[in-house]
Structure 1
């Protein structure tokens, strides 16, 4: 978290120093510049130090938070005073920053000394006695299919695959599965030599070698290796001369694997030797390899495991079965949680009233369990600093919430966690690869479309966020903001409301430093004026049919404006789902994403500032956009554009041939509702860079497909609701362009959402 706060502080100092609007005194500017100079060395320290809970790391985080609060409060108050017509020539000395600077000086001195002496080492990790998932009659519950797959891998010929990994989140049962296979009778009889080594996060490679050699020497005849040889050479010689199975348990990084694999023999053919790895990090798995990805248990298996652990071979009393199943369900299929729940139940009297009492707060009891925290928090300890705040942010979403990556990217950018979309998508992949989040849907090209965090993991890391003093920077779903205001005063950074409740808009004026406000599903019918005094707001999302007032121009740092139908508006059949944007929409210099259900964009000619929206990347879902050359120049860098037209109401020349001027456009959606535009001969001319095209309701003749087939980079074509006219797509003479041969990558995938007869040669 400290590294993210430092990055955010660096950005804030640049804003206040580069903008002449803020009347800082010479001394005030010198203070802030001195603050800037100390940030790089602290960032270097955090990159070198990957420990968790360091006192110095906490001091850096807290000092950076306080310094940024002081500076942003000054910026907010100055803008507020200017808007109220008060004096604007007051010289600010930033006196409150003096105490923070004293702390920064002390930290910087200590950090510089540590870096110079190269004494920065991670702390000694806590040793955890890991609990294995219990077995039923000697066999792990619910792992039959995985054991069978692994047995086949170990016993049968596998061309080019000698290494297999078992991956999954902490507490999912990876070691249990590996142990079941390692001790399987057929496997034991097949391999003359078997060894099990535990790596852990902060391994010492020489200790790993010695552990492996000790295990191997007990299984081979004496004199097989020379006593004078090195440990590494002895291991290599034993493994060369004996068919073997080695389990590398609890591997945390690819670097660790690179160090360990040096002692394994290198062979080009399958000689029957096998290596089985368990890891939470899928990037730690060597290539080429195969893997078994472990998932959570279903409700039935969860109950079987809970029942077996509590009652053993005895039957569960009938009056406890229903409440027992509810408790098992609350564990969300995580074996570790089920085992802990079973232990808690076993320690209480086996009565219905006792179990019902426990069921009311079983999730809390599990999450607060010392063993659960030790095992599950290891993943956080192993995270690089730059990933921690992003992951904690994801844990602020409700149970079973499907987090869309496109939204998460905008939120992280607004919070200052990342600078661009590419960095954000990389972080999502990193978090998923470490099994801290799971993929729920993917895009056509294999990229992650949405993901989710396990409910118990989310519960645990919400506690961690409080401990890290960063709850104000993670997504916040409190219904009563007045209560939040009392807890966080004016330092809250993010407010997201996930339930219809008008109180989510009360007390907003107190959050002077707010960067994210998402109240799409609020019951309110208008945004309070105080919203537009939130000078630092970078992400604003609300629901139709609210209007966008001209005061939107006051949000000078706004990057994402999201307006979409709310749950409340969907209840009313005749609810108006349009929003009319004011002229001031063109006066937001940092606007990057504009997603809405609005009518025509206002004519920019009357705006005080009509310079090109060079940072605008997303414009969706705009209605009846007239693609004049002037408008195309204003949105020249748009990468994603979605437009809806109405064929039975408006009869205008939409100048769609000018779409070709959008040279950066990669994703285009064109929809026609209620009629046709064919009588206007509205024919779009598509820009060359287009990668994804969606057409709906246009009723184009199929001969127009030639223009689409000529697009060199198009990967996805979606045709919906009579996008083209006619029952037959006669692609004779152009089938290579439309479908693509094996060596022709014109289309990676074609989605057709309407049935047609294709007449092909």
Structure 2
């Protein structure tokens, strides 16, 4: 199994649950056992490899009151033993390898936090409809090492306590016509594929704060079905990651629809959208935007001419894999910019010298790409040093 880094949100959410619900952490392995106490209540028994293999019925009975369980194992295993832990609230076995999704999970009616990893198999990957029995579930995290997309049942919408849905790969989540539940607590929805933002869908996720969505293998003709114009109705949305991968790639094929974004956005990532630069105003007018990442032809065209008054609070700007040639900027633009990162912009002629005059700017980082752009960064740095500006740093990676 490849040694891949966990999703950062997985670590953050796991840590949050540990701090709130756990008292003792025990790791059992060949090297022995270690314990540590945290500040607040509850009990965690983190069992790895041999401890799980050797667990007897008496052991399970003696630990049946455990509320939280973490499994650190690196092999395929059966999870039938978890039936002895009916009071579990936190179950994290994302380090284990599952060839199928065990139905035993849906019998843990007290679960609030569930994380697991699914490995590719010949079976169709689909959560069982009985997932709706987990009425206390707040966080569901699934890592996928599978070629097929994960399909979520309509019953997912019947989990009223859900706060975080996180998937490492594209997952299909459809909005049913019959279900009337409103997921008022849902704050995070990451890793969904070809999601339709119908009026009904918007009504069911009114308090969403973080969204990561991709659109893959679609033709231009049916784009209206995905109702992206409704994104502006997600009034609580603060973080949006949007990826577009058309069915047949063409650098000249522009994004089929232009849509407005919710004004509360603070972090925005766009990838593969092929939006002409003249429409950059749709994000430039966002009053609270602080982080902007433009990747893989998010915008296309030879020239980006910035406009006065746009990006009033932007602190972090990443441009990666753009075909931009000329970037026209004044020192009054980007008044709050702190970090500028440019990678793989092979056609960019230079980084404007006016960038160096932005008083808040602390770092310009240039990755592999245009040599002339990298050279211009050196000139900017030298000029600022001559003016007594020691706060600006540059990094150039060849």
TM-score tier, shorter chain, comes to: 0.5 to 0.7
The DSSP-based 3-state class of the residue aligned with 2:241 is: strand
Over residues 54-80 of structure 1, what are the superposed CA-to-partner deviations in whole Å (9 max), with x where a residue is unaligned? Answer: xxxxxxxxxxxxxxxxxxxxxxxxxxx
1:477 equivalenced with 2:80 (yes/no): no
Partner of 2:242: 670
Whether 1:406 and 2:9 are equivalent positions in the alignment is: yes
> Residues 591 and 461 (structure 1 numbering): CA distance in 2 closer, same or farther, change over 3 Å?
same
Aligned mates of 1:630, 1:402 — CA distance in 2: 35
CA root-mean-square deviation: 3.7
Provide the residue aligned with 2:195 in structure 1: 625
Give 1:416 deviation, angstroms.
Answer: 7.4
- Post-superposition CA distance 1:642-664 (Å, at most 9, x none): 11002555733222111111111
Q: CA separation of 1:475/1:501 partners in 2, compared to 1, >3 Å: closer, same or farther?
A: same
Deviations 1:170-219 (A, max 9, x none): xxxxxxxxxxxxxxxxxxxxxxxxxxxxxxxxxxxxxxxxxxxxxxxxxx
More divergent stretch after superposition (693-702 vs 651-660): 651-660
* Other-structure match for 2:304: 729
Are the equivalent residues in 2 in contact too, given 1:722–1:754 (CA < 8 A)?
Answer: no
Residue correspondence of structure 1 range 518-533 to structure 2 within 5 A: 518-533=92-107
Name the CA shift for 1:558/1:694 in 2 (closer, same or farther; >3 Å). Answer: same
Contact 1:718 1:752 in 2 (8 A): no
Kept in 1: contact 2:286–2:311 (CA 8 A):
no
- 8 Å CA contact retained: 2:310, 2:334: no
Deviation at 1:725, TM superposition (A): 0.8
SS in 1 for 2:203: helix
* Aligned mates of 1:404, 1:759 — CA distance in 2: 33
- What's the CA shift for 1:473? 1.6
Q: Which residue of 2 aligns with 1:683?
A: 258
Distance in 2 separating the partners of 1:410 and 1:735: 34
Instruction: Give the number of aligned pairs.
Output: 312
Equivalent-residue separation in structure 1 for 2:311 and 2:67 (angstroms): 53
Q: 2:280 aligns to what?
A: 705
C-alpha separation between the residues in 1 aligned to 2:95 and 2:126?
15
Give the strand-richer structure, 1 or 2.
2
Instruction: Output the CA distance in 2 between the equivalents of 1:629 and 1:733.
Output: 35
Q: Which residue of 2 aligns with 1:238?
A: none
User: Residues 680 and 711 of structure 1: is their aligned pair in 2 closer, same or farther, counting only changes over 3 Å?
Assistant: closer
- The DSSP-based 3-state class of the residue aligned with 1:606 is coil
Do the aligned partners of residues 491 and 412 (structure 1) sit closer, same or farther apart at CA in structure 2, a change above 3 Å counting? farther
Name the structure 2 match of 1:592. 163
Structure 1 gap segments, 5+ residues each: 1-400, 419-423, 425-454, 570-574
The alignment status of 1:549 with 2:128, answered yes or no, reads yes
Shift of 1:673: 1.6
1:652 match: 223
**Larger displacement relative to structure 2 (509-518 or 539-548):** 539-548
Report the CA distance between 1:746 and its aligned residue. 5.4
Q: For 1:523, what is the secondary structure of its paired residue?
A: strand
- Tell me if the contact between 1:552 and 1:585 (Cα under 8 Å) persists in the aligned partners: yes
Contact 1:718 1:753 in 2 (8 A): no
Q: Matches of 2:98 and 2:90 in 1, distance apart?
A: 18
Structure 1 residues 753 and 494, CA gap change in structure 2 (3 angstroms): farther
CA distance in 2, matches of 1:524, 1:736: 45
1:611 maps to 181
Q: Structure 1's 408 and 478: CA in aligned 2 closer, same or farther, altered over 3 A? A: same
**Paired residues for 1:385-396 under 5 Å:** none
Q: Distance in 2 between matches of 1:460 and 1:747?
A: 50
In 2: Cα distance, 1:736 partner to 1:615 partner: 30
Q: List per-residue Cα deviations over 1:135-168 (Å, max 9, x = no partner).
A: xxxxxxxxxxxxxxxxxxxxxxxxxxxxxxxxxx
- The alpha-carbon distance between structure 1 residues 751 and 504, as it changes in their structure 2 partners (threshold 3 A), is farther
Measured in 2, the distance between the counterparts of 1:623 and 1:558 equals 22
Match of 2:152 in 1: 581
Whole-Å separation in 2 of the counterparts to 1:537 and 1:464 = 23
Any gaps of 5 or more consecutive residues in structure 2? 315-328, 355-398
The whole-number CA distance in structure 2 between the counterparts of 1:638 and 1:681 is 25
The Cα of 1:618 is off from its aligned counterpart by: 0.3
> Contact conserved, 1:719 with 1:751, CA < 8 A, in 2?
no
Q: Matches of residues 88-103 of structure 1 in structure 2 within 5 Å?
A: none
TM-score normalised according to structure 1 size:
0.37
Say if 2:228 and 2:259, in contact at 8 Å, map to a contact too.
yes
Matched, 1:491 2:65: yes
**Which runs of structure 2 are paired with 1:143-222 in the superposition (5 Å)?**
none
* 1:676 to partner: Cα distance: 6.2
In structure 2, relative to structure 1, the CA distance for the partners of 1:744 and 1:734 (3 Å cut) is: closer
SS at match of 1:502: coil
Question: Structure 2 CA distance, aligned partners of 1:411 and 1:586?
Answer: 23
Q: Which residue of 2 aligns with 1:720?
A: 295
User: Deviation of residue 479 (structure 1)?
Assistant: 5.0
Distance 2:218 2:176 in 1: 27
The 1:547–1:692 alpha-carbon spacing in structure 2 relative to 1, beyond 3 Å, is same
Give the aligned partner of residue 75 of structure 2. 501
How far, CA to CA, are the matches of 2:311 and 2:240 in structure 1?
Answer: 23
The answer to whether the Cα contact below 8 Å between 1:580 and 1:600 also exists between their aligned partners in 2 is yes
Change (3 A) 1:615 1:733: closer
Task: Tell me if the contact between 1:660 and 1:685 (Cα under 8 Å) persists in the aligned partners.
Answer: yes
Distance 1:697 1:643 in 2: 12
Higher relative contact order (CA closer than 8 Å, sequence separation 6+):
1
1:513 is displaced (CA, Å) by: 1.5
Deviation at 1:516, TM superposition (A): 2.0
